[in-house]
Chains A and B, each alone.
Chain A
Amino acid sequence: MEPIPPTPEPQPVEPVPATSLAGKLLNVFAAPGDVFGEIKAAPARAAHWLVPVLLYAGVGVIAVCILFAQPAIQQTIHEQQVKALDKQVQQGKMTQAQEDQTLQMMDRFVGPTMLAVVGSVSMVIYSFGSVFWWALVLWLLGRWFLKARFGYLKAVEVAGLASVILVLGLVIGTLLAVILGRFYAGPSLALLVSDFDPTRRVHLLLGAANIVYFWHTAVLGVGLAKVSGGSMGKALLVLFTYWILAELLLVAVGLGQWAL
């Protein structure tokens, strides 16, 4: 009887060290699959979504303050306000006297500082709101179209980490706005339009065709695929379909500025 060769002892598997939060935030740009794979495996941590959201809100507040300090942008906003009021006068919803009075009140009370304060508060609310909204979208799409069961908090972590793409987009958009002297500026097809008008649907659609939004949606798609365990292609298809429909719907119902 031949001696049974000794079973080689299993080599001790070195545990892969968990990526730090900063590492995760950076890897979302370059290797989102790894980050979200790690997120799926690890227990939920509030820091995974809270830190990116706070970063998003902080950068947003700074961006708002910079933008509203630009005279050209202040003028653009004023012109848009006047244009909107003129439209209401033309439609008979407002008299010329009321428009003049409204403009007078706006000039008196709605200065750049007030706009910056309101904009900053809105930015904080929006940053939190958008992450939770995207998380809800991921969670629902995962359940309905990918037939996957994962917790809402996992979706929040994915949406939160993916929001660092939006932070980058915000920085680029702010720099472009300062350079171009336009309030609505970003790495989108709207850069081709010299006199961007947010009341025109075509301009809004061009503005929505933003490379950062594509990138963000793609990263969310990767995250959805990872946390749902489904196929990457299906997750991306579902998410891009939702995104396109959502953008078109917003533009169609007159809320196109939310699509920017």
Chain B
Amino acid sequence: MVKPKKRRKIIIFSVIGLVLVALTLVAVFKKRVPAITVQTEKVLRHSLTNLVVANGQIQPVVQVTINPEVSGEIIDLPVKEGQRVKKGDLLVKINPDVYIAAVNQAKANYEVALAAKASAVANLEKAEADYQRNLELFNSKLLSASDFIGFKAARDVAKAQLDSADDQVNVAKAAVDSAEDSLSKTTIVSPLTGTVTSLNSELGERVLGTGYTEGTSIMTISDLNRIEARVNVGEIDVVGIAPGQKARLEVDAFKDRKFTGVVTDVANSALGSGTSSALTGSSSSSQSQQATQFQVRIRVDEKEPAFRPGMSVTAEIETEYRTNALTVPLASVTTRPMRPEVKVDPVKKGATNATASVASGTNAVAGANAVVSAANTKAALKPTDVVFVVEGDHVKALPVKIGFCDDNYWEIISGLTNGEEIVSGGYRAVGHDLQDGSKIRVGPAETETKEGKP
């Protein structure tokens, strides 16, 4: 009676002991891979806008610098800086006295030339008459050849003198026209309706005309109804910019307002470093950045009377736009060294094998397969764009093909499907710690945890 009971006890306690020892050993020696704290998000569809941000200045679309074409003293300056002017309004009057005298002189010369021409006409008529009369005599053998040649020469000379007098008249007429033109240029009127945005000369000042030099810049007239932003875009971004693209503009002077615009022109050549610096006003920009910037003009849609040429502006140009694109947060895409997939088209592979078999039997097939195998096994690790997909308490590194991005999201062209849960943070986890198969736990970011603890 005692023996079976004892045996039963031994069996039961042995089983219990074994179970406890086994579990304890497993618990103690189980490889504990610390779970990496991550934050997750779902792969979702968003509309993406690729923006190029550039700085520049507000400038009028039409801006005319008034330079006199004639030199002289300003005797009338009826406009002030900031004044609105209409097309044809008087802007500047230069002392015309010299030019009036020049006109008079030219006219007198013209009259002289006309008189000389009249004299030449009379001379020609006389020489022609002499020639005709002596021609008859010569034909009747009543006049010697030498005398006849004298009359003929006299007629030709009179003709030439008339031609010369005619040319002199034309020269004199041109001189009159030129003098009158110069005289007319002493009065400068506005070529457009706009605003005097800068006035550099004063009444009584002597100005130089644009003859062989640049001349004096008297003022600038701008059409402030049509304003554009001239921004400088780096060479990497400029290739994506084209006329017609939309832009959002932030003018520093209007803190709470955003303006819209359309790209109207993209420069074909880079700005010089000096120009760039002047336009951007950025003294900290590097030389290389300055040397490789292109000016882009953006017409501002809104009319804002308070715009002033030269105001600083930041433009966000929408270079690309995608609706309903599959997206992941920017922080979720990282790179990991991965073995590139060697994709062999089964049809082509079959064809290759078949050809090889026909050509040289089974060795050829083995050779072809060996090439593929070698490509699979010996391919070098290449940095690949990956996203970590959550699978339970582990992650899987999936290679993805990314499109473009905006401020928040990357477009995923391939590699993920809508709704998949992916790791979006923290920064160190995504950028460094996580590997394919890593154990994770979802939790707040490290900084938040530290800040949250008392």
Using a CB–CB cutoff of 8 Å, the interface residues on chain A facing chain B are: 26-27, 29-31, 34, 71-72, 75, 78-79, 104, 107-108, 111, 168, 171-172, 175-176, 178-179, 181, 194-195
Tell me, yes or no, whether B8 is within 8 Å of chain A by CB: yes
Inter-chain contact B443/A78, CB cutoff 8 Å:
yes
A72-B35, A75-B443, A107-B444 known; A172-B19 Cβ under 8 A? yes
Tell me, yes or no, whether B24 is within 8 Å of chain A by CB: yes
Inter-chain contact B453/A108, CB cutoff 8 Å:
yes
A30-B9, A108-B454, A194-B392 known; A179-B35 Cβ under 8 A? no
Nearest B residue to A187 via CB reads: B19
Tell me, yes or no, whether B27 is within 8 Å of chain A by CB: yes
Nearest B residue to A71 via CB reads: B35
Inter-chain contact A108/B452, CB cutoff 8 Å:
yes
Residue-wise interface mask of B (421-454) relative to A, using a CB-CB cutoff of 8 A (1 in contact, 0 not): 0000000000000000000011110000100111
Inter-chain contact A107/B452, CB cutoff 8 Å:
yes
Contacts of A179 in B (CB 8 A): 23, 26-27, 30
A sample of 28 cross-chain residue pairs with beta-carbon separation below 8 angstroms, ordered by A number, consists of A27-B9, A29-B13, A29-B16, A30-B5, A30-B8, A30-B9, A30-B12, A30-B13, A34-B5, A71-B34, A71-B441, A72-B441, A75-B35, A75-B441, A107-B444, A108-B452, A108-B454, A111-B453, A168-B16, A172-B20, A175-B20, A178-B27, A179-B23, A179-B26, A179-B27, A179-B30, A194-B392, A195-B392
Name the prevailing secondary structure of the B interface residues: helix
- Restricting to B302-349, which residues have a CB under 8 Å from any CB of A? none
Interface size counted on chain B using CB atoms at 8 A: 25
Within the complex, the shortest CB–CB distance from B117 to chain A, in Å, comes to 101
Contacts of B12 in A (CB 8 A): 29-30
Within the complex, the shortest CB–CB distance from B224 to chain A, in Å, comes to 49
A178 to B30, CA, bound (A): 9
Within the complex, the shortest CB–CB distance from A68 to chain B, in Å, comes to 15
Inter-chain contact A175/B24, CB cutoff 8 Å:
yes
Within the complex, the shortest CB–CB distance from A32 to chain B, in Å, comes to 11
Inter-chain contact B27/A175, CB cutoff 8 Å:
yes
Residue-wise interface mask of B (392-436) relative to A, using a CB-CB cutoff of 8 A (1 in contact, 0 not): 110000000000000000000000000000000000000000000
A18 to B26, CA, bound (A): 39
Contacts of A172 in B (CB 8 A): 19-20, 23
Contacts of A181 in B (CB 8 A): 393
Nearest B residue to A177 via CB reads: B27
A79-B442, A179-B30 known; A31-B9 Cβ under 8 A? yes
Contacts of B5 in A (CB 8 A): 30-31, 34
Within the complex, the shortest CB–CB distance from A140 to chain B, in Å, comes to 30
